[in-house]
């Protein structure tokens, strides 16, 4: 039985707009005199001033000390030009950490898929919605420092995961997950998915509220089943959210620190080392502030390049 | 969104989502058990009985609220400008904001400290609020800008024809229409500010200026810490963020309202 | 490919800007000697505890550290205030992992500490420069033979360029194993003294359904202690020599130590998954919950000889109705079979430094002197058991022990050993410390041979400037 869509008074153009937004349309600027130029700068000013004033000093500072051999404390740093960068290129741990970060990028895809799935399900009339929403939200807001020991216990050789595997007869799979260099990274990726799916979920949930119910109605009248609705409507209509999450996902993956640092410390045998934990160890634990800064600069450049290419590709910057 | 037919379909859907959520719940359940180990509910009363707790709570609340207000205001203004207002150098400024997002926190502490110290702001809440704001803006601009850009230009045309200036357009047209993303911005900014550990640790030095994330120190010694109480503390600390999330739920539900085009 | 020569170029402008930035920002942190306002006779006027002047002298001391912890520090402050009631001491606790970053930003700032903890090794090397020379203080309080009155490890670890940058509070020694004597007695087991005995004891314990030996092999420090202990049983003192660059890491004795260490992960002694858990709290909690019968901890574990402390520890391990059990520290088994007598190696747990920039020099000196040089202060330290006091001639009070018949002797013996110990435990060079941790981790997971690991250590050691 097809139900009649409840008419909420939406402006007629919303139908067209949703499709246009779905195809990342380049909206044309309102025609008229360019009197908004000044307004544009004014409106953007507070954000830019705060961000530039505070973060950019840090960026410049980092750049400057990346050409030093310095422990951060002594009064006579030694300028070594690009030595730190050359050392970085020859550093095996650096390249290994890049490989590990690529694996974390996979986690982002899983998080987004799960987040969208949950958002769709929770918009589809399941009971106890609020409970599920809170359960998905909690992992994002719980302090990683507190969750790390809990996860170490779960993944322990005689921890809950192995106990459950043994209980269902999958003894062969029971493993000291975090102690084995070949499995530790996967355990961390699982923890990462656990922690961040809620973030994708909240965003997708908000994005789906913008979807016009009449569109779905129209599709139903045309005979579309659930999968059709998802693939032809919901996914395209939440494209903006997907792109945003992809960008944030890339940056987040590159900056990933808490979970590898707190759960495994980059080990065992550096099998879970990522760039952020490595630069922390170099810059803060080992007092190689210059080298740590060089690693930071590389991290930032990587993030920037990937972000700009994504923004360009999805034409986010050139609207209006 | 999805069409669920019949009781069997409803049960199947409920089952599906429950099975999918179960792996997420399991560590939470483990954590809850951990918080009740040893002393049981005594862990919670130990945390709640800390004389410093009310002060820490107030400080965290103050910092979080101020950060949210500053971030919301600057983000919405900037997102609106970047999405809908024409001006030269828009794309560059957008990238300028995005670049700030790429910085890892480990690289920020020393230069931030230098800035804060130079400005004479050590041990004041401003020393924490400003950096938190600066770090939250890029992410939220990224989120909000997309939402605003998706609003149809015809709306803005109509508003202009009606004689609305930029400010009125912003206030009366844009803000009401982007309630869902506003809610998202408020929630994530609040969570980020509430959970911030490193900045208050380094920049707030008087014992009375500490925030709620400094609770674990009361249960830590040189040799290990009392995990049961720390986890209980973590559960308590999470409650306000859940409350904020739930309170803003209504804004997630509401869609575009009537009379947008007169 | 040698890059160094041609790239080294110091442009005046660049250097000036950087130095200006550094100096402006870290304002006078760079002064290495720190004698600017420290040793005026005024600042050294330390009234005797109990004297009339002690009761009137005023001041404030802001004390930063990761030790002794928020719940124990008030004990010290209270005891201090009994002698000096008008000096206010504010202890700011930092988790050990956050201590160095916090100190880096705080030590030069006006709202920084007057007194701060210093750990021998990397932290002392880096932050010692911000402290005053405490030799005059030690001389004033203990006389010209002050060095003989303190345990040798302390002065040694904190002396830089002939100046004493911190006074040791108390020391800890490693090279011991902690057994759950209650369980051992119940099952008729004795502490193992050789590798074979250890393996068979482990078999017996496993048969009873418990973990034999729990080790937090994720933590580099506990692996380092183990390797040092093993190599001391093969060639006493060689490990410490290699740390100082006076012996090669590729020496056959040290390679054998690495090999023995690796074998522990395959012969049933190390529990499965050891490399994935931390010593504190993961492994320690298992031991306290009596899921494991042995753990490797040093004399800092002695605090758990006390029933009250141990009960709290058992409860925080998640046991609801905690019942104390008898812990006993025994020497680590002679796993290499060379017959060398095991001995303790250790370091001051931490020392107290007076910030050269502090405006409360006198109060700071009084506090540090009381804590580290007077009988009263050191007695409070001794009575906690977790540190062996630096001042000689202090015996800890022995009430409240779980089993005095066993533990009093153990406590006294170990205390004497630590006070007379000369071999260091902390590695002063962060790069070498990291390398040792990496080597241990690689050996534990089998991804490197002992020979290759030793070579890595030698490379790291060669790169250290001593």
d(CA B182, CA B144): 7
Q: What is the ipTM of this complex?
A: 0.90
Q: Strands across the sheet with C211-214, in order?
A: C211-214, C292-295, C176-180, C327-331
Q: Across the interface, do A64 and C18 touch by the CB < 8 Å criterion?
A: yes
Q: What are phi and psi of B68, to 5 degrees?
A: -60, -45
Of B13, B88, B249, the CB nearest to A126: B13
Give the orientation angle of helix C220-234 with respect to helix C252-263, to 10 degrees. Answer: 120
Which chain A residues are Cβ-neighbours of C275 within 8 angstroms?
176, 178-180, 267-268
Q: How many CB atoms lie within 10 A of CB C12?
A: 7
Percentage of chain A surpassing pLDDT 70?
87
- Rounded CA-CA distance C289/C321 in Å is 11
A319 confidence band (pLDDT: 50, 70, 90): very low
Residue C86 has pLDDT above 70, yes or no: yes
Give chain C's mean pLDDT: 89
Task: Provide the edge-to-edge strand list for the sheet that holds C388-389.
Answer: C87-93, C59-65, C115-118, C345-354, C167-174, C388-389
| Cβ-Cβ contacts under 8 Å, A178 against chain C | 218, 273, 275-277
Say if residue B62's pLDDT is above 80.
Answer: yes
Question: What local confidence, expressed as pLDDT, does residue A151 receive?
Answer: 96
Portion 69-108 of A in contact with B at CB < 8 A: 72
Tell me which of C138 and C30 has the higher pLDDT.
C138
Domains in chain C: ranges and CATH: 34-171+349-404 (3.40.190.10), 174-345+423-462 (3.40.190.10)
pLDDT > 60? residue C438: yes
Q: Residue A316: its pLDDT value, please?
A: 57
- Contact: A285, C441; criterion CB under 8 Å: no
Residues 64-123 of B with CB under 8 A from C: 109-110, 113-114, 117-118, 122-123
Q: Dihedrals φ, ψ of A155, to 5°?
A: -90, 5
pLDDT at A1: 36
**pLDDT (0 to 100) of residue C321:** 92
Angstrom distance (rounded) from CA A217 to CA A233: 11
Q: What is the mean pLDDT of residues A4-13?
A: 38
| Domain segments of chain B as ranges | 6-36, 53-253
H helix or E strand, kind and range, residue C93: strand C87-93
What secondary structure letter does DSSP report for C423? S
pLDDT of the residue at A20:
42
**Burial label, C336 (beta-carbon count in 10 A; 0-12, 13-18, 19+):** buried
> Does the beta-carbon distance from A303 to B23 stay under 8 Å?
no
Cα distance between residue C231 and residue C243, in whole Å: 12
- Look at residue B54 and tell me whether its pLDDT is greater than 50: yes
Q: Do A179 and C217 touch (CB under 8 A)?
A: yes
pLDDT digits (tens, 9 = 90+) for C325-349: 999 999 999 988 888 888 999 999 9
Q: Is A181's CB within 8 Å of C445's CB?
A: yes
> Partners for C (CB, 8 Å, 3+ pairs)?
A, B
For the cut 90, the answer to whether the pLDDT of residue A186 exceeds it is: yes
Identify the residue with better confidence: C72 or C11: C72
The class (CATH top level) of B53-253 is: mainly alpha
Instruction: Give the pLDDT band (50/70/90) at residue A36.
Output: low
Classify burial at C141, counting beta carbons within 10 Å of its beta carbon; exposed 0-12, middle 13-18, buried 19 or more.
buried
Interchain contact B12–A (C-beta under 8 A): no
Q: Which two tokens stand for residue A70?
A: 């310095």
Contacting partners of chain A (3+ CB pairs under 8 A): B, C
Q: pLDDT at position C82, please?
A: 94
The whole-angstrom distance between B201's CA and the closest CA on chain C is 8
- Is residue B261 within 8 Å of A16, Cβ to Cβ? no
State what percent of residues in chain B have pLDDT above 90: 55
What pLDDT does C24 receive? 40
What is the model's pLDDT at position B252? Answer: 64
Whether residue A166 lies within 8 A of chain C, CB to CB, comes out as no
C215/chain B closest Cα distance in angstroms: 14
Residues of C within 8 A of A264 (CB-CB) are: 218, 276
Structure tokens belonging to residue B245: 């999330």
DSSP character string of chain B: -----HHHHHHHHHHHHHHHHHHHHHHHHHHHHHHHSTTTHHHHHHHHT-TTHHHHHHHHHHHHHHHHHHHHHHHHHHHHHHHH---TTHHHHHHHHHHHHT--GGGTHHHHHHHHHHTT-TTSTHHHHHHHHHHHHHHHHHHHHHHHHTS-HHHHHHHHHTT--HHHIIIIIIHHHTHHHHHHHHHHHHHHHHT--HHHHHH--SGGG--GGGGGGGGBBSS-B-HHHHHHHHHHHHHHHHHHHHHTHHHHH--PPTTS--
Angle (CA) B188 B190 B195, round 5°: 95
64-103 in B: which are within 8 Å (CB) of A?
Answer: 70, 73-75, 77-78, 80-88, 90-91, 93-103
Q: Could you give the dihedral angle defined by the CA atoms of residues C57, C58, C64 and C66, in that order, rounded to the nearest 10 degrees? A: 50
Which chain C residues have a beta carbon less than 8 Å from that of B39?
315, 320
Q: How far apart are CA A256 and CA A249, in angstroms?
A: 10
Q: Where are the domains of chain A?
A: 91-313
Mean pLDDT of C416-445: 93
What pLDDT shows up at residue C88?
Answer: 96
Q: Percent of chain C at pLDDT above 70?
A: 91
A299-303 contacts, C-beta under 8 A, 24 or more apart? A299/A254, A299/A255, A299/A275, A299/B102, A299/B104, A300/A59, A300/A62, A300/B99, A300/B102, A300/B103, A302/A254, A303/A250, A303/A251, A303/A254, A303/A255, A303/B101, A303/B102
Is A11's CB within 8 Å of B103's CB?
no
Nearest CA in chain C to A156: C273
Q: What is the pLDDT of residue C442?
A: 96
Which pLDDT score, from 0 to 100, does residue C27 have? Answer: 41
Lowest mean pLDDT among A29-33, A115-119, B71-75, C339-343: A29-33
| CB neighbours of residue B49 within 10 Å | 9
In angstroms, the CA B178 to CA B174 distance is 6
Q: Please give the pLDDT value at position A292.
A: 94
Work out the mean pLDDT of chain A and round it to a whole number: 86
Nearest CA in chain C to A282: C431
Query: Is residue A32 predicted with pLDDT exceeding 60?
Result: no
pLDDT tens digits for range B10-42: 899 999 999 999 999 999 999 999 999 989 999
pTM: 0.88
Chain B contact set for A23 (CB, 8 A): none
B226: closest chain C residue by CA = C316
Asked if B155 and B260 count as a contact pair (C-beta separation under 8 A), the reply is yes
Tell me the C-alpha distance between A3 and A23, whole Å: 29
C8: nearest CB among A61, A80, A264 = A80
pLDDT score at C106 = 85
From A157-171, A214-228, C33-47, C119-133, the region with the lowest mean pLDDT: C33-47
- Distance CA(A8)–CA(A212), nearest Å, equals 9
Q: Domain A91-313 belongs to what topology?
A: MetI-like fold (1.10.3720)
Q: Are C120 and C157 in contact (CB under 8 A)?
A: yes
- Considering CB atoms only, which of C24, C98, C316 is closest to B227? C316
Take residue C221 and report the two structure tokens written for it: 């420090």
- Looking at the complex, does the CB of residue B34 fall below 8 Å from at least one CB of chain C? yes
Contact A216 B110 (CB under 8 A): no
Question: Using one digit for the tens of pLDDT, what is the confidence trace for C8-54?
Answer: 344 444 444 444 444 444 443 333 333 444 445 588 888 988 888 99
C230: confidence class by pLDDT, cuts 50, 70, 90: very high
| Residue range C219-244: mean pLDDT, rounded | 95
Q: Which residue among B77, B101, B150 sits closest to A251, beta carbon to beta carbon?
A: B101
Average pLDDT score over chain B: 89
Cβ-based neighbours of B107, under 8 Å, separated by 6 or more: A58, A62, A279, A283, A292, A293, A296
pLDDT of res. C313: 94
Asked if residue A265 has pLDDT above 80, the reply is yes
Residue in chain C closest to A159 (alpha carbons) equals C273
Q: From start to end of C209-299, where are the E strands?
A: 211-214, 292-295
Kindly determine whether residue A10 and residue B197, on different chains, have CB atoms separated by under 8 Å: no
CA-based nearest distance A165→chain B, Å: 14
Cα(C87)–Cα(C75) distance, integer angstroms: 15
> Which pLDDT value is given to residue B253?
63
pLDDT at C163 over 90: yes
Measure A46 CA to nearest chain C CA, in Å.
27
- Put simply, the answer to whether A46 touches B74 (Cβ < 8 Å) is yes
């Amino acid at each position: 039985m097809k139900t009649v869509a409840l008419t909420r008074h939406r402006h007629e153009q919303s139908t067209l707009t949703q499709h246009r937004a779905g195809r990342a349309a380049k909206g044309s600027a309102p025609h008229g005199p360019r009197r908004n130029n000044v307004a544009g700068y004014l409106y953007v000013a507070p954000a830019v001033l705060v961000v530039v004033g505070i973060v950019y000093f840090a960026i410049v500072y980092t750049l400057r000390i990346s050409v030093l051999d310095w422990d951060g404390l002594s009064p006579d740093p030694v300028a070594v030009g690009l030595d730190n960068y050359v050392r970085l290129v020859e550093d095996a741990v650096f390249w290994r950490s890049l490989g590990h970060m690529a694996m974390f990028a996979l986690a982002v895809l899983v998080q987004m898929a799960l987040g969208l799935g949950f958002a769709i399900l929770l918009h589809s009339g399941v009971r106890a919605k609020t409970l599920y929403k809170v359960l998905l939200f909690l992992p994002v807001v719980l302090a990683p420092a507190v969750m790390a020991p809990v996860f170490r216990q779960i993944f322990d050789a005689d921890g809950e995961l192995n106990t459950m595997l043994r209980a269902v007869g999958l003894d062969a799979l029971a493993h000291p997950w975090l102690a084995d260099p070949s499995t530790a990274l996967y355990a961390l990726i699982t923890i990462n998915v656990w922690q961040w799916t809620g973030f994708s979920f909240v965003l997708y949930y908000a994005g789906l509220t913008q979807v016009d119910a009449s569109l779905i109605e129209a599709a139903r009248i045309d005979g579309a089943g659930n999968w059709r609705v998802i693939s032809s409507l919901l996914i395209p209509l939440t494209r903006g959210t997907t792109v945003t999450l992809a960008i944030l996902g890339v940056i987040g993956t590159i900056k990933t620190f808490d979970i590898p640092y707190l759960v495994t410390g980059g080990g065992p045998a550096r099998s879970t080392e990522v760039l952020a934990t490595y630069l922390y160890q170099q810059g803060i634990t080992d007092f190689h502030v210059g080298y740590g800064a060089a690693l930071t600069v590389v991290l930032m450049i990587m993030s920037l390049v990937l972000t700009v290419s994504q923004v360009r590709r999805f034409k986010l910057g050139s609207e209006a | 969104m999805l069409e669920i037919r019949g009781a069997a379909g409803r049960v199947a859907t409920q089952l599906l989502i429950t099975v999918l959520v179960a792996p997420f719940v399991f560590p939470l359940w483990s954590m809850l058990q951990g918080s009740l180990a040893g002393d049981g509910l005594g862990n919670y009363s130990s945390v709640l009985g800390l004389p410093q707790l009310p002060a820490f709570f107030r400080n965290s609340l103050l910092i979080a609220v101020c950060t949210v207000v500053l971030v919301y205001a600057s983000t919405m203004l900037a997102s609106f400008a970047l999405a809908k207002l024409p001006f030269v150098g828009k794309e560059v400024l957008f990238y300028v904001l995005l670049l700030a997002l790429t910085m890892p926190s480990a690289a920020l502490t020393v230069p931030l400290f230098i800035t804060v110290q130079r400005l004479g702001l050590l041990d004041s809440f401003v020393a924490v609020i400003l950096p938190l704001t600066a770090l939250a803006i890029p992410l939220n601009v990224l989120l909000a800008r997309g939402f605003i850009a998706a609003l149809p230009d015809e709306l803005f045309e109509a508003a202009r024809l009606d004689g609305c200036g930029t400010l009125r357009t912003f206030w009366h047209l844009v803000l009401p229409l982007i309630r869902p993303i506003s809610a998202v911005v408020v929630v994530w900014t609040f969570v980020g500010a509430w959970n911030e550990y490193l900045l208050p640790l380094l920049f707030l030095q008087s014992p009375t200026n500490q925030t709620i994330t400094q609770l674990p120190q009361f249960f830590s010694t040189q040799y290990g810490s009392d995990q049961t109480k720390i986890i209980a503390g973590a559960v308590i600390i999470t409650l306000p963020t859940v409350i904020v999330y739930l309170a803003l739920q209504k804004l997630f539900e509401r869609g575009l309202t009537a009379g947008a085009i007169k | 490919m040698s890059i160094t020569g041609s790239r080294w170029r110091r442009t005046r402008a660049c250097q000036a800007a950087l130095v200006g930035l550094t100096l402006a920002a870290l304002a006078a942190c760079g002064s290495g000697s720190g004698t600017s306002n420290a040793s005026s006779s005024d600042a050294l006027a330390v009234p005797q505890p109990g004297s009339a002047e002690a009761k009137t002298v005023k001041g404030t001391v802001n004390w930063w550290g990761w030790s002794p912890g928020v719940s124990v520090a008030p004990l010290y402050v209270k005891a201090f205030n009994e002698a000096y009631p008008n000096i206010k001491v504010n202890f700011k606790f930092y988790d050990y992992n956050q201590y160095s970053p916090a100190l880096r930003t705080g030590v030069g700032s006006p709202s920084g500490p007057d007194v701060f903890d210093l750990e021998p090794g990397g932290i002392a090397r880096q932050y010692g420069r911000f402290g005053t020379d405490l030799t005059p203080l030690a001389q004033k309080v203990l006389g010209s033979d002050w060095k003989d009155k303190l345990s040798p490890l302390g002065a040694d670890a904190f002396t830089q360029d002939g100046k004493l940058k911190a006074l040791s509070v108390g020391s800890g020694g490693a090279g011991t194993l902690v057994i759950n004597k209650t369980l051992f007695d119940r099952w008729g087991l004795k502490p193992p003294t050789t590798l074979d005995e250890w393996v068979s004891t482990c078999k017996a314990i496993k048969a009873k359904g418990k973990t034999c030996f729990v080790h937090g092999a994720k933590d580099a420090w506990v692996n380092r202690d183990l390797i040092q202990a093993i190599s001391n049983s093969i060639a006493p003192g060689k490990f410490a020599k290699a740390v100082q660059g006076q012996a090669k890491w590729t020496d056959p004795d040290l390679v054998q130590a690495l090999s023995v260490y690796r074998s522990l992960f395959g012969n049933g002694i190390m529990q499965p998954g050891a490399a994935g858990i931390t010593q504190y709290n993961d492994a320690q909690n298992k031991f306290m919950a009596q899921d494991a019968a042995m753990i490797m901890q040093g004399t800092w574990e002695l605090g758990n000889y006390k029933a009250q402390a141990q009960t709290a520890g058992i409860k925080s391990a998640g046991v609801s109705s905690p019942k104390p059990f008898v812990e006993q520290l025994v020497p680590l088994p002679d796993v290499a079979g060379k017959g060398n007598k095991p001995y303790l190696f250790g370091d001051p747990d931490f020392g107290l430094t007076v910030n050269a920039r502090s405006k409360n020099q006198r109060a700071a000196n009084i506090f540090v002197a009381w804590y580290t040089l007077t009988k009263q202060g050191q007695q409070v330290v001794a009575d906690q058991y977790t540190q062996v006091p630096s001042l000689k001639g202090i015996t800890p009070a022995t009430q409240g022990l779980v089993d005095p018949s066993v533990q009093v002797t153990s406590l006294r013996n170990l205390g004497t050993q630590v006070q007379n110990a000369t071999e260091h435990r902390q590695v002063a060079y962060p790069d070498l410390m990291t390398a040792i941790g990496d080597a241990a981790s690689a050996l534990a997971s089998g991804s490197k041979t002992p020979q290759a690991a030793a070579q890595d250590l030698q490379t790291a050691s060669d790169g250290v400037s001593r």
